[in-house]
């Protein structure tokens, strides 16, 4: 396949190797789309209190709305995108994704029942599914000018900034309207609609990038089936990384889903003030964690050891943050613990995604990323908010019970994932074999900024 105008690559040749070098502008555009995706994804976290009141929902139902309703369709559609999406020029594919999830966001804001809210979140999941594999296919290429680790960390930091942007934007809108209806819409509905206007400009930017390009498939059999075959053989080192990453994402999603509610319940803040406070926490802490992961894994001395030490250290810090969250009743300390939790969990998750890219040969990177992200999403996104909601419903402490429930979930996850991260680190160092494309190369350590070697 090729991004060039009509060019067809030889079998085994990387599409991005034949394209122009991926520059800072492209990386920033993709990070901006990731930002918008997480703005729209985080909406239920901000308006959870309003949803609970208007639709008479339990924490478990709100957790299901934030987690499984989105994650299951997201994972299923991502697998389909990993198989068929490679036949579509990636910038056009990403523009289509933004359009679909914009429809889902609008449907959520106008929903009249809990079932309609669930359906809208499913549409959002379908729309966002194909974006990340397409973006990572571009950023995972050796043609990225700034280096693979730093490019991917900039991309993943867009998700963290998007969550904070959602909190800030919607919190400000809720405070501005002051509980009044706008154009006949309740405050939470108007606050949910306004952020999706950002998507229109991004669709235009992606279509502009796509001009003059078309994707031509030269390797029709190297889709999801080939990726699965590689994972079952030479790519088995990915499974440990996948499990550890799922745990990290579970902590991130649990925290992101419930942080505004923790401040509202434990410290008597309004939804608007709680959202803005959490927005400030996430705006600083989350990108700091993601970018620190990219910086550490870009260091020369870290290239041979892989992501495991960074993941394990970050998860250990998250335990300290969770313990502090469980024991404090002082608002500044609660914010400090949430900040540390967001930074450390994001650092661990970004390390896993960065570590995956050099393990994966170029021709099947899109499919492997799709499988990886789908599995991680089902566990992390699907279970994190919901499990925390289930634990919270069983906690009799209505004021601080939600914070304690989140802390318990984070500590249990870290206790399981730290040993798993260290175990998979040894397999990462051994490196993968190429997935049967030409002669098999010997096993060798894989460096972050070097392409997988293969004989042709």
Domain layout of the chain by residue ranges: 21-209+222-430
Q: Which residues of the chain have pLDDT under 50?
A: 1-20, 142, 215-221, 431-456
Angle at 23 between CA 18 and CA 26, to 5 degrees: 100
CA distances for 364 relative to 2, 228, 357, 436, angstroms: 14, 10, 11, 11
Of 257, 244, 267, which Cα lies nearest the Cα of 405? 257
Q: How high is the pLDDT of residue 356?
A: 83
Q: How far apart are CA 453 and CA 362, in angstroms?
A: 10
Q: How high is the pLDDT of residue 6?
A: 34
What's the whole-model pTM score?
Answer: 0.75
Q: How far apart are CA 108 and CA 367, in angstroms?
A: 30
Q: Left if phi > 0, otherwise alpha if psi is -120 to 50, otherwise beta: which for 186? A: beta
Q: Burial-class residue 455 by CB neighbours within 10 Å (0-12, 13-18, 19+).
A: exposed
CATH fit for domain 21-209+222-430, picks 1.20.120.1770, 2.60.40.1260, 1.20.1250.20, 1.10.630.10 = 1.20.1250.20
- Three-state SS across the chain? CCCCCCCCCCCCCCCHHHCCCECHHHHHHHHHHHHHHHHHHCHHHHCHHHHHHHHCCCHHHHHHHHCHHHHHHHHHHHHHHHHHHHHCCHHHHHHHHHHHHHHHHHHHHCCCCHHHHHHHHHHHHHHHHCHHHHHHHHHCCCCECCCHHHHHHHHHHHHHHHHHHHHHHHHHHHHHHCCCCECCECHHHHHHHHHHHHHHHHHHHHHHHHCCCCCCCCCCCCCHHHHHHHHHCCCCHHHHHHHHHHHHHHHHHHHHHHHHHHHHHHHCCCHHHHHHHHHHHHHHHHHHHHHHHHHHHHCHHHCCCCCHHHHHHHHHHHHHHHHHHHHCCCHHHHHHHHHHHHHHHHHHHHHHHHHHHHHCCHHHHHHHHHHHHHHHHHHHHHHHHHHHHHHHHCCCCCCCHHHHHHHHHHHHHHHHHHHHHHHHHHHHHHCCCCCCCCCCCCCCCCCCCCCCCCCC
Q: Which residues pair with 144 in a beta bridge?
A: 22
Q: For residues 169-200, b (16+ Cβ closer than 10 Å) or e, as one string?
A: bbbbbbbebeeeeeeeebbbbbbbbebbebbe
Q: How high is the pLDDT of residue 90?
A: 85
Task: Give tens-digit pLDDT for 199-212.
Answer: 999 999 999 988 86
Q: How far apart are CA 73 and CA 270, in angstroms?
A: 32
Q: How high is the pLDDT of residue 181?
A: 77
Tokens of 80: 């389909």
Contact (CB, 8 A) for 205 and 306? no
Q: How high is the pLDDT of residue 347?
A: 93
Q: How far apart are CA 131 and CA 97, in angstroms?
A: 6
Q: How far apart are CA 285 and CA 366, in angstroms?
A: 29
Integer-rounded Cα Rg, in Å, for the chain is 21
Q: How high is the pLDDT of residue 141?
A: 60
């Amino acid at each position: 396949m090729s991004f060039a105008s009509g060019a067809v690559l030889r079998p085994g040749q990387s599409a991005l190797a034949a394209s122009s070098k991926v520059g800072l502008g492209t990386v920033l555009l993709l990070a901006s789309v990731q930002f918008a995706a997480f703005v729209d994804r985080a909406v239920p976290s901000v308006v959870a209190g309003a949803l609970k009141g208007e639709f008479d929902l339990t924490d478990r139902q709100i957790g299901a709305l934030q987690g499984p309703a989105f994650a299951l369709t997201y994972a299923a559609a991502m697998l389909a995108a990993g198989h068929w999406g490679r036949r579509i020029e990636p910038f056009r594919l990403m523009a289509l994704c933004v359009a679909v999830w914009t429809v889902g966001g609008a449907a959520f804001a106008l929903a009249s029942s809990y079932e309609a809210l669930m359906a809208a979140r499913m549409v959002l999941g379908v729309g966002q599914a194909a974006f990340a594999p397409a973006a990572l296919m571009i950023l995972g290429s050796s043609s990225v000018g700034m280096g693979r680790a730093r490019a991917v960390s900039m991309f993943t930091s867009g998700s963290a900034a998007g969550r904070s942007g959602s909190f800030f934007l919607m919190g400000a809108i809720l405070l501005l309207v002051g509980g009044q209806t706008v154009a006949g819409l309740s405050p939470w509905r108007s606050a949910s609609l306004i952020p999706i206007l950002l998507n229109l400009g991004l669709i235009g930017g992606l279509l502009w990038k796509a001009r003059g390009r078309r994707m031509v498939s030269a390797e029709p059999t190297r889709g999801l089936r080939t990726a699965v075959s590689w994972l079952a053989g030479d790519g088995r080192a990915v499974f440990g990384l996948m499990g550890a990453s799922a745990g990290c994402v579970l902590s991130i999603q649990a925290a992101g889903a419930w942080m505004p509610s923790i401040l509202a319940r434990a410290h008597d803040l309004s939804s608007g003030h709680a959202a803005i406070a959490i927005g400030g926490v996430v705006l600083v802490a989350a990108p700091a964690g993601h970018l620190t992961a990219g910086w550490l894994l870009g260091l020369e001395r870290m290239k041979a050891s892989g992501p495991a030490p960074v993941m394990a250290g970050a998860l250990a810090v998250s335990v300290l943050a969770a313990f502090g969250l469980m024991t404090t009743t002082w608002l500044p300390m609660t914010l400090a613990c949430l900040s540390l939790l967001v930074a450390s969990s994001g650092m661990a998750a970004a390390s896993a995604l960065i570590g995956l890219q050099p393990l994966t040969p170029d021709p099947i990177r899109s499919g492997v990323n799709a499988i990886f992200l789908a599995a991680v999403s089902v566990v992390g996104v699907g279970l994190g908010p919901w499990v925390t909601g289930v634990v919270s419903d069983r906690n009799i402490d209505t004021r601080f019970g939600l914070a304690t429930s989140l802390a318990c979930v984070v500590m249990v996850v870290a206790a399981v994932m730290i040993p798993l991260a260290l175990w998979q680190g040894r397999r990462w160092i051994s490196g993968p074999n190429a997935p049967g494309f030409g002669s098999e190369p010997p096993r060798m350590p894989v460096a972050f900024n070097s392409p997988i070697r293969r004989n042709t």
